[in-house]
Structure 1
Amino acid sequence: MLSPRSFKQQQGVAIVVALFIMALVASMAYIMMARLSRDTQRTTLILRDTQAAFYAQGSVAWAIEQLRRDWENQKPDQLIDKLPMTSPTNTINDYHISSTIEDMQARFNLNNLNDTEAQTSFKRLIQSVAPNLSEEKIQAIVNAVVHWITLGSMVSVSELRSVKGITPAIYHALQPYVTALPEAAALVNVQSAPAPILAVLSPTMNLEAGNAIMALRSTSPFVSMQQFLNNDIVKNHPISAQKVTVVSSYFLVVTNVTIEKQQLVLYTLLERATKGDQLAINILWQSKGIG
């Protein structure tokens, strides 16, 4: 028979064991609930991303329709495309969707760099956006990019990040002014190109002349090549008609879809092409990013 003292000791041990078990069960329950919460949140994020991608495709369809309509409604004395063009923000089930169409022929095509004249133009562009770089450094970058595309054309400008000599600062300085179009012979659209691109179209052109062209076209848009080539600025800084155009075929659609704090960005490269009387607008590639 247990003494009263032994009984109390065993009772105390039992209480401690019971408390330990309760704490263990509570801890396990907390861990399971936290894991369930994370799994639920992860599932929600995946579902939202899938839904956002679906809505983004609808916005790409809007862009295709805009480019088709611009082409079909063109008039001889008017611009075909007025870019960049931004869609109204559309809200569906708390998702906010908007797109911007950008002219990719307003940029320097890196896939042109097999041409020696294009290499000189690219060198001048680097000098314009990164003036602190030495002549030797700029030439090394040009050579590295030429070597890169010799192995195969660039698909995306993001490939520049992997080219020898391209630092994050140099990449971000160049990124707004360069593109990687599949057609190496794609011409620069002088109606939409920014001043740093206009400035490299002629050996005698500079940023001041590029800005003057931008000011001129803001009041008198270039609706034909003849109009562009006949303006006094171009006459003073001859530009080859074989390098430029006022009609583009390549466009980048940047689509943003947001819900609460989650954002998806879809990049779509479109090509608008004609064959005879037939118009086709094709998706060349798409890439997703997270805002």
Structure 2
Amino acid sequence: MITALLVVAIAAAMATAMTRQQQLEIQRSANILNAEQAYLYALGAEAFARQVLRRDAEDGRIDHLDEDWASLVPPTVIDGGDLFGRLEDLTGRFNLNNLVDDEGPATVQIAQFQRLLRELELPIDTAWNVVDWLDGDQDPSPAGGAEDLEYLRRTPAYRSAGRLLTSPSELLLIDGFDMAAYQRLEPHVTALPSTTPLNVNTASAILLQGLADLLDPDMAEQLIDARGGDGFASVDAFLDQVGTLAGDELRDQVAETSITIGSNYFLFQGEARFGRGRVQLASLLQRAESGAVTTLRRSRRQL
């Protein structure tokens, strides 16, 4: 009798454990399905963002912060959850890949980046470390820099890229950029697959200030005020405003930089929730001159 009771007790315990394990597997499967559904909703929001950019191109190629694409979409309730998304003009940031061109270090762009570093109270010489990371040779820049010999001494050892950056986070691999420096710099920079001008209609005051040595913070804020909601109608209109504020010499200096009033690269950031699944999506979108919008890359984060 005791043996029989022991066998029944063991069987009951095993059945309970199996039932609990099965419930966990069911819940795990449900969580995976919810996360996949949330991801599909996020992709739908990205597709809507591409449509918004296509419609915007039909209205003209002047891009400014009062357009529909620049509006933050509030959370939208969907069946089983909610989602929201926003677009940011990446041409309104400094493109780190502008620091090197086909002929080598891009002097004007390097000076522009150094002004940004200076305003952020970061060492300006680290700009040359980025140049060396991008270029294809192993010769440290005369003004300072770091090539393979610097990085091979580290643990673990690695080499400089010798190619364009694919993400600003690669700065963390470059000599002179720790997490604190990266976090200070990240809101102002991007890494796009080609060289790009700076959109003066969407750039922040600190980036406008970096266009020339003699542009001070007050002038940069006045330029922000002057562009208003509709932005500058042309590059010449922006340069004329610079000349009005600071004279023809400064106007000519700014004219040597690469600036524009339209944009081709945008960052879509979306978040979707379905059931217990929650997903964040970040997508790099490129808009061609024809108005067609393509997703170049995307990253997904499951929460």
Shorter-normalised TM-score: what interval?
A: 0.7 to 0.9
Shift of residue 156, structure 1, vs aligned partner: 1.8
User: What is the TM-score with the length of structure 2 in the denominator?
Assistant: 0.78
Residues 250 and 87 of structure 1: CA distance in aligned 2, closer, same or farther (over 3 Å): same
Q: Once the two structures are superposed, what CA deviation does each residue of 1:237-287 show, in whole Å capped at 9, x if it has no partner?
A: 43126511111111111111123554211111111112xxx4322111111
* Partner deviation per Cα, 1:134-175 (whole Å, 9 max, x = no partner): x4xx42x32332222221111122222332332222111111
Take 2:211 and 2:217, find their aligned partners in 1: how far apart are those partners? Answer: 11
The Cα shift of 1:57 comes to 1.8
Task: State how far apart, in whole Å, the 2-side matches of 1:40 and 1:120 are.
Answer: 58
Match of 1:201 in 2: 211
The secondary structure found in structure 2 opposite 1:86 is: coil
The corresponding residue for 2:284 is: 269
Residue matched to 1:4: none
Closer, same or farther in 2 for the Cα pair 1:242/1:143, shift >3 Å? closer
Give the one of 269, 291, 296 matched to 1:284.
Answer: 296
| Number of the residue aligned with 1:11 | none
2:21 counterpart residue number? 35
Across the aligned residues of Structure 1 and Structure 2, the Cα RMSD in angstroms comes to 2.6
Q: Describe the SS at the equivalent of 1:288.
A: strand
Structure 2: which 5+ residue stretches go unaligned? 101-105, 136-161
Residue 223 of structure 1: aligned partner: 233
Contact 1:71 1:80 in 2 (8 A): no
**Alpha-carbon distance in 2 for matches of 1:31, 1:148:** 56
- Alignment match of 1:156 (pick from 164, 167, 172): 167
Distance of aligned partners of 1:228 and 1:54 in 2 relative to their CA distance in 1, 3 Å threshold: same
**Preserved CA contact (<8 Å) 1:195 1:211:** yes
Name the counterpart of 1:145: 130
Computing the radius of gyration from Cα coordinates, the structure with the larger value is: 1
Q: For 2:265, which of 236, 245, 250 is the aligned residue?
A: 250
Question: Between the two proteins, what is the percent identity of the paired residues?
Answer: 31
Q: Structure 2 CA distance, aligned partners of 1:257 and 1:216?
A: 37
Matched, 1:125 2:116: yes
Return the alpha-carbon distance in structure 2 between the equivalents of residues 191 and 169 of structure 1.
29
CA contact (8 A) 1:229 1:235 kept: no
**Cα distance in 2 for residues equivalent to 1:290 and 1:234:** 49
Q: State whether residues 199 and 210 of structure 1, in contact with CA within 8 Å, keep that contact through their aligned partners in structure 2.
A: yes
- Count, aligned residues: 266
Which TM-score applies when normalising by structure 1? 0.81
The CA deviation at 1:19 is 6.0
- CA change 1:38–1:169 in 2 (3 A) is farther
Query: In the alignment, what sits opposite 2:107?
Result: 116
1:49-100 deviations in Å (ceiling 9; x for gaps): 2112211221112111111111112398x95972522335333222312211
Q: Higher relative contact order at CA 8 Å, sep ≥6: structure 1 or structure 2? A: 2
Q: For residue 50 of structure 2, what is the aligned residue in structure 1?
A: 64
| Residues 1:34 and 1:195: Cα distance change in structure 2 (over 3 Å) | farther
Rounded to whole Å, the distance in 1 between the matches of 2:214 and 2:31 is: 54
User: Which shows bigger deviation, 85-94 or 238-247?
Assistant: 85-94
